[in-house]
Amino acid sequence: MSLVAVLPVKRFPSAKVRLANGGLSSAQRLALATGMLSDVLAALRRCSLVDDIVVVTSEPGAEALARGAGAQVVTDDPNEGHSDAAQRGIDWAVADGAFHTLLIAGDVPALDPAEIDSLIKSLADDTEVVIVPDRHGSGTNALILTPADVISPAFGEGSCERHQQLATDAGVQARVESSFGLGLDVDTADDLEALTAALEGAEPSVAPFTRAVIGRLGAR
């Protein structure tokens, strides 16, 4: 049964605005967002159990990266939020015949393709929601839905608990799976420091585009 990965990607000019407090310029934040998305797309392409990838965006740069990686593109409404964009991707996946959807953030460049495949192998054959939280245990960096539209996503602060409640309300089993790589999203200067430290101890093949950007930033 097929699985489609869905990446909602908002406009780059508004990307990672909280990193401005860490001293990053708009050009540096743009480079970081682009590098992270490139790494996520490349890693998903290496997943043997991901059948297709769809990027939901109204950002021309993200669309170009998606098409270059062989992903599908669904047009986003820039006035809508992250969850609305995710729902557009779910609707596309369902129309394409997907049984599972993997909703994943575009800023988790340290994700491990083997770990993604392992999560997919563990999926139930009927109904299930799998939630992968951020490193703080509050947000949701990945969400696997079986069937593909079993719940509507509700991302944002506190979404890990919220997704569990949505699954309960729908009468669906939910499980939370921790992942070191998937947990490392980047919204703040502290997040960037945590990612940088993790990449220093990882194989050079992990997140090469993001590494290059961090090297130019002089991040430590």
* Start-end of H helices in the chain: 26-45, 60-68, 82-95, 113-121, 159-169, 189-200, 208-217
Report the pLDDT averaged over residues 186-207: 94
Tens of pLDDT along 145-175? 999 999 999 999 999 999 999 999 999 999 9
CA–CA distances in Å: residue 170 to residues 17, 149, 156: 35, 11, 20
Tens of pLDDT along 96-142? 999 999 999 999 999 999 999 999 999 988 999 999 999 999 999 99
Tens of pLDDT along 18-73? 887 878 899 999 999 999 999 999 999 999 999 999 999 999 999 999 999 999 99
Q: What is the pTM of this model?
A: 0.95
The angle subtended at Cα 69 by Cα 68 and Cα 71, nearest 5°, is 105
| pLDDT confidence tier of residue 220, bands split at 50, 70 and 90 | very low
| pLDDT confidence tier of residue 15, bands split at 50, 70 and 90 | confident
Q: Take residue 177 and report the two structure tokens written for it.
A: 């799976």
Q: What one-letter code names the amino acid at 161?
A: E
Does residue 85 or residue 11 have the better pLDDT? 85
- Domain extents in the chain: 3-217
Do residues 103 and 31 make contact, with C-beta atoms less than 8 angstroms apart? Answer: no
In sequence order, the β-bridge partners of residue 57 are 9, 75
Average pLDDT, the chain: 94
Other Cβ atoms within 10 Å of 49 Cβ, number: 16
Q: Report d(CA 207, CA 201) in Å as an integer.
A: 12
User: CATH number for the 3-217 domain, one of 3.30.43.10, 3.40.50.300, 3.90.550.10, 3.40.50.1820?
Assistant: 3.90.550.10
208 pLDDT higher than 90: yes
Angle between helices 26-45 and 60-68 (to 10 degrees): 30
14 pLDDT higher than 80: no
